[in-house]
Amino acid sequence: SKANVFIALYRQRREILSQRNALEAYADALRVADRHKNDFIAMLGHELRNPIMAIRAGLQLLGRQSDEERRAGIHARMEVQAHHLSRLIEDLLDVARIDQGKISLKRERVSLQSVIESAVDTSRPKIDAASHDLTVVLPSQPLWLEGDFTRLSQVVSNLLANAAKYTPPEGRIRLSADVDQDQVRIHIADNGVGVPHDMQDRIFDLFTQSKGPDDRSRDGLGIGLALVKQLVEMHDGAIELASDGPGRGSCFTVRLPISA
């Protein structure tokens, strides 16, 4: 009947519209992904070029410099750039390894205090370079975790480096820990540029960076927090961000299960 034909045509039209909407949404997602890829390639080129140029310039200066004290200073600056380059590449490889399931944790019983001490030592050069005031407050009793010491230290050091990066010189960074039932909570708070409210839900996404007033996001690739989140979740933990918005600082809290 004509009614059945009309109903069939109506359903067919709805199906076509639904498929078209799905294709348009997929195309939009591809355009966003392509833009992120282009932004990432541009940032990667910037990040790789700077230390490589500094190392090349240092090598040229070393060849013309006979004063041992000046040679030592040039060598030290080259080491800093080489370390930055190495850390950048390792972070990129870690993200790829986790996505491919190629990272396995070397779980052991480790103390929270030793993890924090290692992370602070790793992050100290960046903190001191910006003349930040770092305060560390930990429980007096030992707290034990079941996890990979190197990866847990990497989580805390990346968060400290992030705080140092997004806090203006001579800022304040506070690292503290407490116990909440069967979990330990590690807090890294700063009085830096803060995180806009519209970015807080995606701050842990790959290649996402908060933009401060002096655009500190130009340094880095936006992979540090994504890597931190992945490593924390591999330890059966969780991470969250609290920020009152631009200019109001931020606080990252890592929750990890306490070892029985």
CA torsion 49→51→55→57, rounded to 10°? 60
pLDDT value for 208? 63
Q: Kindly state the DSSP code that residue 205 receives in the 8-state scheme.
A: S
pLDDT value for 19? 85
Q: 112-129 and 149-165 helices cross at what angle (nearest 10)? A: 30
The residue count for the chain: 260
pLDDT value for 25? 84
Helix (H) or strand (E) holding 185: strand 183-190
Separation CA 163–CA 126 (nearest Å): 10
Which parts of the chain register pLDDT below 70?
Answer: 1-2, 5, 36-47, 99-100, 102, 206-222
Which phi and psi angles does 147 have, rounded to 5°? -175, -175
Cβ atoms within 10 Å, residue 33: 10
Separation CA 34–CA 29 (nearest Å): 9
pLDDT value for 218? 45
Dmax (CA) for the chain in angstroms is 99
pLDDT value for 52? 80
